């Protein structure tokens, strides 16, 4: 009965979303607040209906109702409860329902946003309703998660064991909140183009309205991608965290577009400039989200992370993508030339710096897009099947971003309209000198000596120090009495702290990525019990291997000690788990956290050692500073959150404080 | 700067072009340069002739792992045969196989052919999904009439 309620609620949500779009259009045309209010009500009701449907699906998974095809295909009675629930969004149908949940949820939030003017809100609600109706129709007619099985099987096929992991239980909701959050920016951009306000006062307000949505989506996406990378790092047992795989790129593209939008919306808000460009980015971010959904689900690109692939449904997604993005960009091409330019600014100015940021971010996104889609293009053109490997991205994306990051710390120092490059240079001289020193120190400290890695270290330090220097300048650290500094620090808007944290977090990530990539040490050898292996300065000894029983798996559990000269040995556990339900084996990495470093131990197959004794193949990575790779994005997300909180506060008060960036 | 256009609008446009051009040129240049060496071609055993995939060039080899072909000639080394049921290529790989590597399953190996037309893999890709078949493998098997959905149809 609960399952039928869910199925009904899903259809109801589709009807309500379609009504929402229709009524909102009528309300906008007739300028009727009553109709517009009804459309908002439909948006709330549609979201509520999807919540009911989603709850019903989670319930079906929680009680293992195998008469539901989706549950039978993805769950098992032996699974721990967390993974029974997480399996609800582990399949194509379930994850699509999650997508719809986020889409209608954001739609409801948009419909209840009080600060938007009538025309813009009603149009945006109409577009959001249309998006909701399209995706809900896709769910109802082609991917119904509530389809029944008759006869119901006695046991389910279980969730892919690689997905049975806490990080991956959280990763899809975060990622989808980010992906689909950009739908609101998309709707607001389409609405702004439809409303076609030519007056200069409209665009600063639009920038202010769109930015919190972009910021919130970007925060979710940052966390979602970081969680995914962390999962790949410790669950796959390949020693790496980013493989430039099509599926990873698909999530990275909207992130880049969103980051560009965050920055360009500041210019639009403060100066009314770049209106067309910000609108374009808002359309682009959600288009990239939909493109990602298509690439991931259709299986047109060979990915190592392919889940839930179905080419026919992929085609439907392509149709939705083509219709919505095509219409939106056509509207953009038609209306963009009429957009008012807004304030003028000198090339060396805060605006100029943000434009430069946008140029680099979009150029970087373009190279990633090209590398991701090139196999498709070439196959369509010549029939040859190719793949584009990580070296391509290392040669294109990395240098572009490196140049962008070198100029980044100067941006926040520039004044609006007309900046003073010499003054900026003077105020950043200390940070630059220190970063240079650290680069030299890094060159000596790490073996083997690598010039590029040393420069990368300097770059990371430069980002962190540059961001801190900006805050120090604002509070007049060491130049004014302490009481004055404290007073100024209290007076700094949250958004300023947010920017400092976000930029410093990026620096932290760069440090981690540079050191881990440049200096990781890998060693592998078959070991008998009692034998040991050397990875850099670490000695890893296989103490014993025993059979352990988990809730739904059997494991070969290896206990290994990790020792360093002059330090205490620590024990880590690395497992190979066998899941009888699906007949699969997974690897549980043993991780020894040593300060910022990881010692990463993988227990391989049982075999023979070189001396012919029975043993296990053991693979060890020493990943220096790997902790920073995942800490950096977390700091960036906290920075984003501070900035978001500031804006909400300010929007509530309705006053614009000078000095908030 | 007398060579600058007078109108502030035109001047700003010029600045934008001056800023965009080098970044765009850098992006395009880097992409073209990187594309030359980072592109890996994909073959099935029957396609991987000596002309198309000369010894030493890095390519991807895809097909099914032949039943009963997995052997361990030396500790830490594994050999198996990749087949598309028209031709078979012996593969040697040093390292741990992915968790989902199994006989009869679709596989993609990256590496290079040796002069004796055996394949030395540096990387073996298997998917997270046990029913997943790499698309290239599925397509080729379909065109060669060897497609058996039960052996590895696209997943759930």
In tens, the pLDDT along A102-143 reads 999 999 999 998 888 899 999 999 999 999 999 999 999 988
Q: Which residues of A touch B108 (CB under 8 A)?
A: 302
pLDDT(A445) > 80? yes
pLDDT digits (tens, 9 = 90+) for A576-585: 888 887 777 8
Question: With bands split at pLDDT 50, 70 and 90, how would you rate the model's confidence at B129?
Answer: low
- Tokens found for residue A149: 């099985």
Mutation site for B-interface testing, chosen from A240, A249, A302 by largest number of B Cβ within 10 Å: A302
> Measuring CA to CA, which residue among A623, A639, A644 is closest to residue A507?
A639
CA separation for the pair A510, A530 (Å, rounded) = 38
Radius of gyration of the CA atoms of chain A, in A: 27
Residues B64-74 have a mean pLDDT of 84
pLDDT(A496) > 60? yes
- How far does the CA of residue A68 sit from the closest CA of chain B (Å)? 14
Give percent of chain A with pLDDT exceeding 70: 95
Interface contact B39-A392, CB threshold 8 A: yes
DSSP strand E in A536-588: where? 538-549, 554-563, 570-579, 584-588
Q: According to the model, what pLDDT value does residue B141 have?
A: 62
pLDDT, mean over chain A:
88
CA separation for the pair A8, A11 (Å, rounded) = 5
Helix or strand holding residue B124 (H, E): strand B119-125
Residues A48-56 have a mean pLDDT of 97
CA separation for the pair A472, A485 (Å, rounded) = 9
pLDDT digits (tens, 9 = 90+) for A226-253: 999 998 888 877 778 888 888 889 999 9
pLDDT(A456) > 80? yes
Dihedral over alpha carbons A467, A468, A469, A474 (to 10 degrees): 100
Interface contact B19-A586, CB threshold 8 A: no
Q: How far is CA A462 from CA A282, A314, A323, A338, A410, in A?
A: 30, 44, 44, 41, 11
- Tokens found for residue A497: 């702290």
Residue A437, Cβ neighbours under 10 Å: how many?
A: 12
A117 CB-near residues (< 8 Å, 6+ apart): none
In SS3 terms, A336-389 reads as: HHHCCCCCCCCCCCHHHHHHHHHHHHHHHHHHHHHHHHHHHHHHHHHCCCEEEC
In SS3 terms, A104-169 reads as: HHHHHHHHCCCCCCHHHHHHHHHHHHHHHHHHHHHHHHHCCCCCECCCCCCCCCCCCHHHCCHHHH
CA separation for the pair A621, A392 (Å, rounded) = 24
pLDDT(A359) > 70? yes
> Measuring CA to CA, which residue among A92, A87, A104 is closest to residue A142?
A92
Q: According to the model, what pLDDT value does residue A102 have?
A: 96
Q: According to the model, what pLDDT value does residue A459 have?
A: 96
Q: Which residues of A touch B99 (CB under 8 A)?
A: 162, 237, 584-587
> Measuring CA to CA, which residue among A55, A306, A164 is closest to residue B131?
A306
Does the N-terminal peptide bond of residue A448 adopt cis geometry, omega within 30 degrees of 0? yes
Helix axes A202-235, A275-298, angle to 10 degrees: 30
Separate counts of helices (H) and strands (E) for chain B: 3, 6
Residues A202-226 have a mean pLDDT of 93
> Measuring CA to CA, which residue among B50, B143, B46, B119 is closest to residue B87?
B46
Residues A211-231 have a mean pLDDT of 94
Q: Does B29 touch chain A (CB under 8 A)?
A: no
In the beta sheet, which residues pair with residue B59? B41, B111
Residues A589-617 have a mean pLDDT of 85
Q: According to the model, what pLDDT value does residue B139 have?
A: 67
Mutation site for B-interface testing, chosen from A363, A372, A397 by largest number of B Cβ within 10 Å: A363
Interface contact A395-B38, CB threshold 8 A: yes
Rank A386-390, A553-557, B46-50 by mean pLDDT and report only the highest. Answer: A553-557
- Tokens found for residue B55: 């010894």
Q: According to the model, what pLDDT value does residue A328 have?
A: 95
pLDDT digits (tens, 9 = 90+) for A157-189: 777 777 778 877 888 899 999 999 999 999 999
Q: According to the model, what pLDDT value does residue B151 have?
A: 37
B25 CB-near residues (< 8 Å, 6+ apart): none
Report helix, strand or coil for B2: coil
Q: Does A216 touch chain B (CB under 8 A)?
A: no
Give percent of chain B with pLDDT exceeding 70: 75
Is pTM beyond 0.80? Reply is: yes
pLDDT(B155) > 60? no
pLDDT digits (tens, 9 = 90+) for A188-210: 999 999 987 667 778 888 998 99
Beta-strand relationship, B77-83 and B88-94: antiparallel
Question: With bands split at pLDDT 50, 70 and 90, how would you rate the model's confidence at B2?
Answer: low
- Tokens found for residue B78: 């594994």
Structure-token match 């919540």, residue found = A51
pLDDT digits (tens, 9 = 90+) for A500-536: 999 999 999 999 999 999 999 988 888 899 999 999 8
Task: Give the nearest chain B residue to A72 (CA atoms).
Answer: B156
pLDDT(B58) > 60? yes
Please state whether A564 falls in left (phi above 0), alpha (psi between -120 and 50) or beta. Answer: beta
Structure-token match 């990763």, residue found = A171
pLDDT digits (tens, 9 = 90+) for B10-30: 777 787 788 788 888 888 888
CA separation for the pair A477, A473 (Å, rounded) = 6
Residues A611-633 have a mean pLDDT of 90
Question: With bands split at pLDDT 50, 70 and 90, how would you rate the model's confidence at A647?
Answer: low
CA separation for the pair A98, A80 (Å, rounded) = 21
Q: According to the model, what pLDDT value does residue A297 have?
A: 80
- Tokens found for residue A59: 């319930």
Beta-strand relationship, A532-535 and B39-43: unpaired
Residues B142-148 have a mean pLDDT of 58
Q: According to the model, what pLDDT value does residue A464 have?
A: 96
Question: With bands split at pLDDT 50, 70 and 90, how would you rate the model's confidence at A422?
Answer: confident
pLDDT(B150) > 60? no
Q: Which residues of B touch A389 (CB under 8 A)?
A: 38-40
Residue A549, Cβ neighbours under 10 Å: how many?
A: 9
Mutation site for B-interface testing, chosen from A75, A277, A385 by largest number of B Cβ within 10 Å: A385
Question: With bands split at pLDDT 50, 70 and 90, how would you rate the model's confidence at A304?
Answer: low
pLDDT digits (tens, 9 = 90+) for A332-352: 999 888 776 666 777 788 888
ipTM of the complex: 0.71
pLDDT(B134) > 70? no
Q: How far is CA A229 from CA A156, A167, A614, in A?
A: 29, 10, 35
CA separation for the pair A25, A499 (Å, rounded) = 38
Interface contact A359-B20, CB threshold 8 A: yes
Question: With bands split at pLDDT 50, 70 and 90, how would you rate the model's confidence at B137?
Answer: low
Separate counts of helices (H) and strands (E) for chain A: 18, 10
Transcribe B69-117 into DSSP letters: --B-SSTTEEEEEEE-SS-EEEEEEESPPPTT--TTSEEEEEEEE-TTS
């Amino acid at each position: 009965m609960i399952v039928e309620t869910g199925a009904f609620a899903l259809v109801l949500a589709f009807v309500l979303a379609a009504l929402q779009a229709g009524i909102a259009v009528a309300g906008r045309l007739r300028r009727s607040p009553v109709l517009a209010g009804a459309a908002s009500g439909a948006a709330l009701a549609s979201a509520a209906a999807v919540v009911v449907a989603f709850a019903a699906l989670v319930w079906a998974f929680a009680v293992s109702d195998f008469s539901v095809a989706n549950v039978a295909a993805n769950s098992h009675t032996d699974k721990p409860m967390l993974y029974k629930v997480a399996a609800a969004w582990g399949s194509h149908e379930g994850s699509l329902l999650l997508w719809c949940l986020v889409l209608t949820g954001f739609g409801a939030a948009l419909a209840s946003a009080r600060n938007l003017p009538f025309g813009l809100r009603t149009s945006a609600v109409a577009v959001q309703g249309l998006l909701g109706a399209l995706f809900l129709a896709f769910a109802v007619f082609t991917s119904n998660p509530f389809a029944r099985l008759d006869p119901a099987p006695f046991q389910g096929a279980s969730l892919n064991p690689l997905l049975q992991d806490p990080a991956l239980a959280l990763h899809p909701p975060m990622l989808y909140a980010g992906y689909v959050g950009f739908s609101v920016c998309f709707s607001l951009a389409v609405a702004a183009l439809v409303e076609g306000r030519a007056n200069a006062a409209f665009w600063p307000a639009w920038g202010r309205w769109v930015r919190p949505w972009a910021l919130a989506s970007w925060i979710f996406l940052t966390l979602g991608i970081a969680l995914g990378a962390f999962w790949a790092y410790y669950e796959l047992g390949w020693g790496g965290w980013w493989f430039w795989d099509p599926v990873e790129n698909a999530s990275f593209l909207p992130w880049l577009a969103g980051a560009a939008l965050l920055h360009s919306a500041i210019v639009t808000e403060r100066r009314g400039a770049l209106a067309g460009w910000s609108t374009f980015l808002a359309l682009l971010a959600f288009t990239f989200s939909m493109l990602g959904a298509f690439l991931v689900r259709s299986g047109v690109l060979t990915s190592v992370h392919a889940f839930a692939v179905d080419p026919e449904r992929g085609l439907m997604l392509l149709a939705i993508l083509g219709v919505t993005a095509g219409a939106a960009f056509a509207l953009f091409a038609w209306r963009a030339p009429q957009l008012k330019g807004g304030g003028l600014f000198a090339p060396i100015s805060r605006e100029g710096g943000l434009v430069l940021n946008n140029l680099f971010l979009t150029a970087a996104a373009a190279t990633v897009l090209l590398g991701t889609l090139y196999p498709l293009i070439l196959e369509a053109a010549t029939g040859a099947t190719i793949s584009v490997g990580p070296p391509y991205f290392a040669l294109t994306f990395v240098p572009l971003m490196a140049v962008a990051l070198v100029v980044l710390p100067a941006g926040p120092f520039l004044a609006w309209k007309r900046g003073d490059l010499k003054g900026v240079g003077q105020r950043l001289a200390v940070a630059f000198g220190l970063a240079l020193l650290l680069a030299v120190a890094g060159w000596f400290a790490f073996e083997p000596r690598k010039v590029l890695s040393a420069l990368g270290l300097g770059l990371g330090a430069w980002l962190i120090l540059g961001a801190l220097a900006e805050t120090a300048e604002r509070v007049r650290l060491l130049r004014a009495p302490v009481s004055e500094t404290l007073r100024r620090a209290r007076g700094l808007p949250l958004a300023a702290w947010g920017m400092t944290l976000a930029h410093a977090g990026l620096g932290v990530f760069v440090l981690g990525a540079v050191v881990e990539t440049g200096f990781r040490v890998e060693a592998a050898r078959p070991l008998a019990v009692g034998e040991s292996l050397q990875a850099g300065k670490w000695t890893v000894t296989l103490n014993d291997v025993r059979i352990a029983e988990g809730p739904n798996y059997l494991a070969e559990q290896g206990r290994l000690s990790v020792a360093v000269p002059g330090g205490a040995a620590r024990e880590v556990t690395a497992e190979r788990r066998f899941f009888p339900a699906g007949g699969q084996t997974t690897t549980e990495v043993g991780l020894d956290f040593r300060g910022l470093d990881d010692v990463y131990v993988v227990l391989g197959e049982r075999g023979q050692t070189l001396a012919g004794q029975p043993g296990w193949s053991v693979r060890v990575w020493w990943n220096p500073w790997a902790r920073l790779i995942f800490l950096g994005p977390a700091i960036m997300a906290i920075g984003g959150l501070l900035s978001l909180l500031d804006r909400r506060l300010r929007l509530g008060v309705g006053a614009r404080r000078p000095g908030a960036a | 700067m007398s060579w600058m256009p007078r109108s502030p609008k035109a001047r700003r446009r010029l600045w934008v072009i001056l800023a965009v051009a080098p970044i765009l040129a850098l992006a395009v240049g880097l992409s073209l340069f990187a594309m030359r060496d980072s592109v890996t071609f994909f073959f099935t055993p029957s396609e991987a002739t000596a002309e198309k995939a000369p010894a030493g060039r890095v390519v991807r080899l895809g097909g099914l792992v032949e039943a009963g072909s997995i052997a361990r000639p030396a500790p830490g080394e594994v050999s198996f045969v990749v087949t598309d049921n028209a031709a078979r290529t012996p593969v040697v790989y040093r390292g741990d196989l992915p968790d989902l590597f199994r006989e009869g399953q679709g596989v993609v190996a990256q590496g290079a052919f040796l002069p004796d037309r055996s394949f030395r893999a540096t990387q073996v890709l298997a998917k997270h999904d046990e029913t997943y078949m790499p698309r290239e493998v599925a397509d080729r098997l379909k065109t060669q009439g060897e497609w058996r959905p039960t052996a590895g149809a696209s997943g759930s």
